[in-house]
Amino acid sequence: MDRSLISASLLTLLLSLSSFHFVDSTTFKIVNRCQHTIWPGILIGANRTALTPTGFTLESGKSRTLTAPKSWPGRFWARTLCSNDSSGKFSCVTADCGSGKVKCAGAGSIPPATLAEFTLNGDRGLDFYDVSLVDGYNLPMLVEATGGTSGGCYSTGCVANLNRVCPAELRVARGNLGVAGRSPCEAFGDPQRF
């Protein structure tokens, strides 16, 4: 079946994903358009082929390309404000995966985190993608799709810096600086509140 050619980009974290006719893999290009270093993390669906590495450092302006198998469900996010403590344990102020290391090794992001979600070769052999704030927000993210053969491969994402405008009751701050925003659902434990 024809596969669409998709490239995904995130402002700040920019993802590129491409799949080609007759090729059994898809390429994600993750580009950091932030002014600061980010630490992307990757979580795959249960019992599916791992993308490696599961977490890495990406300096401002740099990119890294990863190859996924033809059928692949998974999500990307990016950690910010990471450091090692005196015992060598790695952690991040936002979107930490709790592994204690740069690699997430099967652990997902601790909310709040902006998520890019993918299902490659899903229903009818199509590739699906979205950027979700269901787990809150920590940085702008854009998925850019190019060269699709089945149409509808639009860019999608959230390119606004919501950390500046996040309401006080949802804001995660470091000093005076907003660094993330919790989802109302998670913050209030109540899906009715928006």
The residue count for binding ligand NAG (CB under 6 A) is: 8
Residue 57 within binding range of ligand NAG, rule CB under 6 A: yes
Question: What is the rounded distance in angstroms from the CA atom of residue 22 to the CA atom of residue 171?
Answer: 46
**Interface with ligand NAG (CB under 6 A), residue from 90, 118, 129, 137:** 90
Span of 13-21, 58-66, 79-87, 179-187 interacting with ligand NAG by CB under 6 A: 79-87
Under rule CB under 6 A, residue 46 binds ligand NAG: yes
Residue 192 binds ligand NAG, judged by CB under 6 A: no
Residue 73 amino acid letter: P
If binding is defined by CB under 6 A, does position 82 make contact with ligand NAG?
yes
| Residue placing its CB nearer to ligand NAG in the complex, 57 or 119 | 57
Of 92-131, which residues contact ligand NAG (CB under 6 A)?
A: 102
* 52 alpha carbon, distance to own chain's centre: 15
Phi, then psi, of 6 in degrees rounded to 5: -125, 135
Residue 66 near residue 56, CB atoms below 8 Å: no
Beta strand spans in the chain (E): 13-19, 25-32, 39-44, 63-69, 72-84, 90-94, 115-120, 128-132, 141-144, 156-158, 171-174, 177-181
Query: Contact 20/152 with Cβ under 8 angstroms?
Result: no
What's the closest the beta carbon of residue 101 comes to ligand NAG, in angstroms? 7
Q: What is the C-alpha separation between 55 and 64, in angstroms, rounded?
A: 11
Give least dist CB 82 to ligand NAG, A. Answer: 5
- Whole-number minimum distance, CB 83 to ligand NAG, in Å? 5
> Is residue 72 a contact point for ligand NAG (CB under 6 A)?
no
- Contacting positions for ligand NAG (CB under 6 A): 46-47, 57, 82-84, 90, 102
